[in-house]
Chains A and B, each alone.
Chain A
């Protein structure tokens, strides 16, 4: 960057779309970019959107806070492949020189971010849980857990630009969209022939629809204390009564009682429900990093010293096989008028 000439600090967010669906982490990142922008004088929040025939997705980016969308629309970008995406985005970065560039730490985002950072020769901090602007020097302070969540490290990228970071879905809150927000679409030309792309997708073997616990409002999670797969039927009953989903700690998944897609924690999913009920979960740090963003945590554990109680809104020392059935009865028996708790 030309040091003499002050340029507008651009905060960029990669809008991840596949099959015309935008991954909600993109909006969470736009929300974060807006907050960063408030602390970075003169900065603007902008979005990068790639794909084929995806221009109609741009207005959503405006609603979530982007003032401008850089759109690269090209047939080779129809499905995500590392090379054309990395080349296209890197060209854009080289041309517009953003100050900060945020990407979702999804399968796609993790594949892409490292390639872009290497191409443009800059620093990248993976899986951040907190982003802020250092008030002294206006650089990005990207905080991430290391050593299995036992230690938090704040990473700085002092001299190289853009300062890149990835953030997992649900680590940051979802902003409210502004319905009538508008902005500018910059159509960016891109030149690549299909013959020059070394990787082709032959087919996609679709998995059964995976339970998406990340965006559930209510989660009833069970740990090793549930004792076996049968006990999860009870948790499912409570989850159904509350309109929620069942999740699990890692030992439960390792034992095969529940599918890996339901694991919460460092090596599982990050969740932010309104209500998280933890039954028979001790509350190891690797589990807590995945659920401490819940609004309300209700923990049930026989051990009064279980670490989960340190973060629970309400802790119940007791046998889950006594407490959960009583809760189910109460929830099912409770008559709501549909208004009282809005």
Chain B
């Protein structure tokens, strides 16, 4: 796509409820959503940071941040502008509501195609997953739709050669770190290590305060295929939702009431019940 132009990175982010604040109403067993703050998905903050740091490393370029979400998600985009993003696009429309990962990846991929037609894109960043759904599917879906290489769980960009159209990226796998060479453009889903988050300098905070994200709807400026968005474009539906019934517990005994010896005897009985086999005295070897 690119050649002589400065680097262009696109970062896709999501505004999520802070799940550490989600609580269950003990009376009704339902979710209490009121007052749950919305935050930028933690991995996405690092994705933005990685794009901004890449721009600095290359001595210039442009970072475009996009999100699909409710109008309120504009707040999340402004945080990204504070971090150093140059352009922010909010893709919002009731028609996008109820989108599953397939429909979401369609919208983001289509938006990136349009952005790319204006200014060729060299690299796309996603957080490795969103903490509200934890699916980790949208990044891979977008790479597949754009037919570009995908590198998930990226932890470092070792080399980035715009002119030669290649990059060397480290990704975390079960066996260790895989070092991959890829052609550009490439899509990365990133771990937090990819770039530590820095404090935004004051001029950026001021610039962000004045910034107004562009708003794209389902029809303008990009006509999205109505068959592929929202509920219509989503093969999966939620059949039912319920609060998990906990596994039932057994007895609770206390050292204060029974004394240490009695408690340990009961604990030993339970350990034996677990059928931990062939316990050798002293060696701790289980065969």
Q: Is B219 an interface residue (CB 8 A)?
A: no
Please, how many angstroms separate the alpha-carbon atoms of A323 and B263 in the complex? Answer: 8
Which chain B residues in 218-263 approach chain A with CB under 8 Å? 234-244, 246-256, 260-261, 263
Partner of B264, one of A210, A296, A330: A330
Minimal beta-carbon separation of B24 from chain A (angstroms) = 5
In chain B between 93 and 147, which residues have their CB closer than 8 angstroms to a CB of chain A?
100-102, 105, 131-141, 143-145
Can you list, as one digit per residue, whether each of B1-25 has a CB less than 8 Å from chain A (1) or not (0)?
A: 0000000000000000101101110
User: How many Å from the CB of A82 to the closest CB on chain B?
Assistant: 5
The reply to whether A304 and B20 form a contact with Cβ atoms under 8 Å apart is no
Contact partner of B133 (CB less than 8 A), chosen from A146, A298, A331, A332, is A146
Inter-chain CA distance A18–B178, complex, in Å, is: 13
Q: What per-residue 1/0 map shows which CB atoms of A101-116 lie under 8 Å from chain B? A: 0000011101101110
Closest 8 CB pairs of A and B: A243-B286, A123-B235, A318-B255, A114-B140, A315-B252, A317-B254, A123-B236, A207-B176
**B207 lies within 8 A of chain A by Cβ:** no
Name the one of A110, A124, A204 contacting B176, with C-beta atoms under 8 angstroms: A204
Taking a contact as CB atoms closer than 8 A, the residue among B134, B176, B243, B253 that contacts A315 in the complex is B253
Instruction: List A contacts of B274 (CB < 8 A).
Output: 218, 274-275, 295-296
24 pairs, A vs B, C-beta closer than 8 Å: A82-B140, A114-B137, A114-B141, A115-B150, A150-B24, A151-B242, A155-B236, A155-B238, A160-B235, A201-B180, A204-B177, A204-B178, A204-B179, A239-B284, A242-B286, A266-B134, A275-B274, A285-B244, A310-B249, A314-B266, A315-B252, A326-B260, A333-B281, A342-B275
The size bracket of the interface on B is 35 or more
- Please determine whether B253 and A317 come into contact, CB atoms closer than 8 angstroms: yes
Chain A binding surface, main DSSP class: mixed
Q: How many residues of chain A have a CB within 8 Å of chain B? A: 96
Contact B281 A336 (CB under 8 A): yes
Structural contact, A126 and B134, CB atoms closer than 8 A? yes
Q: How far is the CA of A28 from the CA of B266 in the complex (A)?
A: 33
Q: A323: which of B23, B260, B275 is its contact (CB, 8 Å)? A: B260
A118 at interface, CB cutoff 8 A: yes
Q: Contact partner of A199 among B181, B243, B279, B280, CB < 8 A?
A: B181
Q: How far is the CB of B265 from chain A (nearest CB, A)?
A: 8
Q: Does A88 contact B (CB under 8 A)?
A: no
Q: A116 to chain B: closest CB distance in Å?
A: 8
Flag if B176 contacts A141 (CB, 8 Å): no
Q: Which residues of A contact B153 (CB under 8 A)?
A: 107, 111
Whether A122 and B267, one on each chain, are in contact in the complex, defined by CB atoms closer than 8 angstroms, is no
CB distance from A209 to the nearest CB of B (A): 10
CA separation between A185 and B222, bound complex, in Å? 48
Q: Is the CB of B255 within 8 A of A319?
A: yes
Contact B276 A152 (CB under 8 A): no
B76 within 8 A of A: no
Q: Which residue of A lies closest to B252 (CB)?
A: A315
Whether A111 touches B150, Cβ cut-off 8 Å, given contacts A147-B19, A310-B249, is: yes
Q: Which of A86, A126, A341 contacts B275 (CB 8 A)?
A: A341
Given A152-B242, A152-B243; A110-B136 close (CB under 8 Å): yes
Q: Check if B100 sits within 8 Å of A123, measured CB to CB.
A: yes
B172 within 8 Å of A (CB atoms): yes
Query: CB of A145 within 8 A of chain B?
Result: yes
**A-chain residues with CB within 8 Å of residue B203 when the two chains form the complex:** none
Shortest beta-carbon distance from A242 to chain B in Å: 6
Query: From residue B90, how far is it (CB to closest CB) to chain A in Å?
Result: 24
CB-based contact A312/B252 at 8 Å: yes
Q: Report A280 CB to chain B, min CB distance, Å.
A: 14
- Nearest neighbor of B187 in chain A, beta-carbon distance: A82
User: Across the interface, which residues of B come within 8 angstroms of A336, CB to CB?
Assistant: 278-281
A210: B residues at CB distance < 8 A: 174
On whether A317 and B241 interact (CB within 8 A), knowing A150-B24, A199-B151, the answer reads no
A11 to B128, CA, bound (A): 29
A154, A200, A244: the one contacting B239 at CB < 8 Å is A154
* Residues in chain B near residue A113, CB distance under 8 A: 137, 140
B176 and A327: CB pair below 8 A? Answer: no
In the complex, are the beta carbons of B277 and A341 less than 8 A apart?
Answer: yes
Residues of A contacting B24 with CB < 8 Å?
150
User: A313: shortest Cβ distance to chain B, in Å?
Assistant: 5
A149: chain B residues within 8 A (beta carbon): 244
CA distance A278 to B284 in the complex (A): 19
Q: Check if A332 sits within 8 Å of B282, measured CB to CB.
A: yes
Q: Any chain B CB within 8 A of the CB of A179?
A: no
* Chain A residues numbered 61-90 whose CB sits less than 8 Å from any CB in chain B: 82-83, 86
